[in-house]
Structure 1
Amino acid sequence: MQNNKPLGKSLKASPVGRDGGAALVDIITLGCSKNLVDSEQLLRQFEALGYKVRHDAEEPDGEIVIVNTCGFIGDAKEESINTILQLAELRKENKIKKLFVMGCLSERYLKELSLEIPEVDQYYGKFNFTNILTDLGCEYRADLRLERTLTTPPHYAYIKISEGCNRTCSYCAIPIITGRNRSRSLEDIEAEVKLLVAKGVKEFQLIAQDLSYYGLDSYKELKLADLVRRISDISGVEWIRLHYAYPARFPYDVLDVMRERDNVCKYMDIALQHISDNMLKMMRRNITKQETYDLLQRMREEVPGIHLRTTMLLGHPGETEDDVEEMKEFIRKVRFERLGAFAFSNEEGTYAYKHYEDNIPQEVKDQRVADIMNIQQEISFNINQKKIGKQFKVMIDRLDGDYYIGRTEFDSPEVDMEVLIPSDTQNVSIGSFYDTKVVDATDFDLYGV
């Protein structure tokens, strides 16, 4: 990624703001939690330099505004572009002094964005965003490499264990954006977790484009189980949760750690995308229908009570009504505790873009997604009803109106269901755990005391 510094335009900015106090830096994060980690690292650097920092403000108006973009699928790209355009108007009106764009969208479309939205002072990619500091005339603090200014509640954090992806799924632009898999060292991740524990973080979401591949590039063997075990051993780590595993060549030894360690949540986020052999082959998923069923059965057997989260992709070129019916049957049989679905987006540069015709109408794609989610809604309701009368360990995230909002070990922040506890409950502290009895349940929420 090359910078596109406009000729004659100085990027240097004073850490002194309009009012004579510290200048304000607004960072807006779009997309996934992996982007959020990058934003948090950048926030920490600015904070150390004496700037005031703010994240995801409703009306960003800092002297410096930075947009961390997503470029995964059509809807995400549209949101990123609209956000940049809105801020570009403020930049033209001189309501903000500097506007920078970083992240996946600008990694992928640097030249196009530079030409179409020239009001942006500078575009950066996904991996060179620390150049923002040096271009402003500041020094990057290498000693703060593992530190972040958390934008999450202070009791949980995301831990990015690798970047990139070596898979070749037909529909996915992530490898185009991020390149090949690069695992962080065990020691590096362990040190970061210890720093966060010292600041009061109790819950850790391990994230990557592909957790299953962790360690294979640098250690020449799958190391996810070793990593989880090492983090689990750190005093103060209460919950560890795993996100974005890949089904092919799955590291089965991580199931042993999950079963044996109380602070490793019985939760696995594993994106399966489809089940029919026809579609799995066209999607280049390197797994078959039977292998998928066998994998899920083994997970259920080796970790009793595990909650599985998955994602389904509808409307990929070549998908027939029979393929969709197979998916429906699969979902009814497996009964995933957590499931999302999205429609195929024909992304430039992908295998599907080059080799398949995107000939399924958008309304058909959307209807297929809706049908799958209707099935999942009923499954989720039935699973939740069976939790009434049972007791769970619940982490309290926040107070919202008439309820304290919490989660069980089976629920990740932002994406999963929540436990609602009446706000008049005595002696409840945000960021603490409580044994909670479920007294009622809806499709996607539990009510507890």
Structure 2
Amino acid sequence: MTVVAPEKPVRRVGMISLGCPKNLVDAEIMLGQLQAESDVVLTNDLDDADVVIVNTCGFIDAAKQESIDTILEVAEKKGRGVERLIVTGCMVQKYRTDLQQSIPEIDAFVGLDHLEKITEAVTGVVDDAAPVKRKMSVRLYEDLPRVLTHGTAHAYLKVSEGCSNPCTFCAIPQMRGKFRSRSIESLVREAQQLQAAGVLELNLVAQDTTRYGEDLGHAHGLTQLVETLLRETDFRWIRFLYAYPGSLDWSLFELMAREPRFASYVDIPLQHVSANVLGRMRRPGSPSEYREMIARMRSLVPDLTIRTTFITGHPGETPKDFGELYDFVEWARFDNMGAFVYSAEDSTIAARMPDVPTRKTAERRRAKLMELQQQIALSRNEARVGQTYDALVTGVCEETEHLLEGRIIGQAPEIDGRLLINDGIDRLPKSLPAFARIEITDAHPYDLVGAVVA
């Protein structure tokens, strides 16, 4: 008689990744590890998942609350389909003990230093949720596989980990450790793998991309990296996000001016311009220095798209400080801008500072700033009507199947507006994503409308 052992049930794993692109890369690494090491099926349908991973964000209060709400929503499904709940990401690094005590439905935690342990957490080898002794992450993940979760139109390449900037309002260094760069060789390998997978646009991300290579002894590290990627890959668009004004390298813009594949785009969160507030933030700059910087950028790259972000209501921000910020935005006429109300983060220097504007005041200032930016963005977009651009057409519009959507080079994925395509669709290749020539026919404050011309 032959005894046949029962088959081991295949686990169906779903993931919810919250927060920034850097966190998304971590999520894709964990999914790649799962796929390589275990007999699991990855699913986008959480109602069909036996195991759900929540990859949390801990940047500001709103992000932390979203993470907690998401964990609780999944916890309610325990025993009704979901067998295991795994929590990963930044909140694990800083609030692991609190989460363990307040949400006992969590089966296991995976910290930023232990992404490779995700398989053990999912399969149940690791059942305890004991707090880690070290809170700060120090690891770099240079050669682990990734599963792309957002298709092949674009992908993110994380060039470094951590941050050594002393911003008083930010807790990221406490969670992700000091700044440390990956090797150029590992980044080129990963970029080539992404290209082989069909990715069309490569976006370089980090807490501070402009500092890339500094710890490796490179004087112009990011420029050297981009030059190498341009030489060793065939991506149509390569862009970098998260520039820091104190470590800006002008050779980047010189390269941008002569290399059409290096996107004429800079994302540089200034956070404020008032010398008083910047001093409290422990960030470099002043209104005059930032005006000179913006002018020089546009002089070097005339078709440059500039994106930035600001914080309203930081401790010590006076009406005069906000007036300086408002006047600066009116002068700079940014293509894309975001504004956030200050959020006091645990164990940061700013959280102990006096003279904090009321929430109502901070929100009113933010609304006023965004109202101004909306007018500027509409004016800038209206100037594009009648112009023709290369565009990356990504697929069917989320809101209606009668439109396609995509982006021109001045629209970064997920954070900027979209290009909505309502005419000439028959000229596109059958398989998307793909590049096409688009004529802009209409403009909105954040989105553009266009027709395919080639």
Normalised TM-score (structure 2): 0.90
Q: CA deviation at 1:220?
A: 5.0
Alignment of 1:347-358 (within 5 A): 347-354=345-352, 356-357=353-354
Which of 256, 259, 270 is the equivalent residue of 2:257? Answer: 259
Question: d(CA) in 2 for partners of 1:375 and 1:127?
Answer: 42
Match of residue 7 from structure 1? none
What does the per-residue CA deviation read over 1:261-285, in whole Å, with 9 as the maximum and x for residues that have no partner? 1111100000001111111111110
Structure 2 residue 386 is matched with structure 1 residue 389: yes
SS of residue in 2 equivalent to 1:316: coil
SS of 1:312 mapped into structure 2: strand
Equivalent runs, 1:31-430 vs 2, <5 Å: 31-48=19-36, 49-55=38-44, 57=45, 59-91=46-78, 93=79, 95-135=81-121, 136=123, 145-219=143-217, 221-354=219-352, 356-357=353-354, 359-400=356-397, 401-422=401-422, 425-429=425-429, 430=432
State the one-letter code of the partner of 2:422: P
Question: Aligned residues: percent identity?
Answer: 36
Matches of 2:266 and 2:356 in 1, distance apart? Answer: 33
Task: Tell me the SS of whatever aligns to 2:58.
Answer: coil
SS of aligned partner of 2:369: helix
8 Å contact kept, 1:212–1:222? no
Give the letter for the 2:77 counterpart. L
Tell whether the 8 Å contact from 1:153 to 1:397 is kept in structure 2 after alignment.
no
Distance in 2 (alpha carbons) for counterparts of 1:434 and 1:201? 16
> How far has the Cα of 1:64 moved from its partner?
1.5
State the alpha-carbon separation in 2 of the partners of residues 122 and 232 from structure 1. Answer: 41
Contact map agreement 1:35 1:103 (CA 8 A) in 2: yes
How far apart are residue 244 of structure 1 and its match? 0.3
Deviation at 1:144, TM superposition (A): 9.8
- Give the 3-state SS of the residue equivalent to 1:411 in structure 2: coil
Find the residue that maps to 1:71 and give its secondary structure: coil
Shift of 1:424: 6.2
The DSSP-based 3-state class of the residue aligned with 1:318 is: coil
Q: How many Å apart are 1:423 and its aligned residue?
A: 6.0
Asked if 1 retains the 8 angstrom alpha-carbon contact of 2:142 and 2:186, the reply is no
Cα distance, 1:287 vs. partner? 2.3
Query: 2:449 is aligned with what amino acid?
Result: Y
Contact 2:345 2:351 in 1 (8 A): yes
In the TM superposition, what whole-angstrom CA distance separates every residue of 1:100-154 from its partner, at most 9, and x where no partner exists?
A: 1010011111111111112111122222122122353789xxx993431111121
Aligned residues: 426
Q: CA 1:420 to 1:235, structure 2 compared with 1: closer, same or farther past 3 Å?
A: same
Aligned CA-pair RMSD = 2.1
Report the AA paired with residue 408 of structure 2.
T
- Structure-1 separation of matches of 2:65 and 2:311: 19
CA distance in 1, matches of 2:101, 2:442: 55
User: Could you report, residue by residue, the CA deviation over 1:9-49 in whole angstroms, capped at 9, with x for unpaired residues?
Assistant: xxxxx9944xxxx3201111011111111111111222222
1:313/1:341 contact within 8 Å kept? yes
Structure 1 residue runs of 5 or longer lacking an equivalent are: 1-13
Q: Which secondary structure does the structure 2 equivalent of 1:158 belong to?
A: strand
* Rounded Cα–Cα distance in structure 2 between residues aligned with 1:201 and 1:146: 18
1:432 aligns with 2:434: yes
CA distance in 1 between partners of 2:234 and 2:317 (Å): 47
In the alignment, the residues of structure 1 paired with residue 35 and residue 8 of structure 2 have an alpha-carbon distance, to the nearest angstrom, of 13
Unaligned runs of 5+ in 2: 1-5, 127-140
Structure 2: distance between partners of 1:109 and 1:68: 13
Shift of 1:94: 5.1
After alignment, is 306-315 or 398-407 more displaced? 398-407
Partner-residue secondary structure (3-state), 2:246? coil
Task: Tell me the equivalent position of 2:444.
Answer: 442
CA distance in 1, matches of 2:220, 2:142: 29
Whether contact under 8 Å (1:45, 1:144) holds in the other structure is no
Any idea what SS the aligned residue of 2:115 has?
coil
Tell me by how many angstroms 1:288 deviates: 2.5
Answer yes or no: is the 8 Å Cα contact 1:203–1:239 preserved in 2. yes
1:10 equivalent in structure 2 = none
Give 3-state SS (helix, strand or coil) of 1:28's partner: strand
Name the SS of the counterpart of 1:230 in structure 2: helix
Closer, same or farther in 2 for the Cα pair 1:394/1:424, shift >3 Å? Answer: closer
Instruction: Return the offset for 1:295.
Output: 1.4
SS in 2 for 1:310: strand
The one-letter code sitting in structure 1 at the alignment partner of 2:298 is R
Residues 402 and 423, structure 1, Cα contact 8 Å, conserved in 2:
no
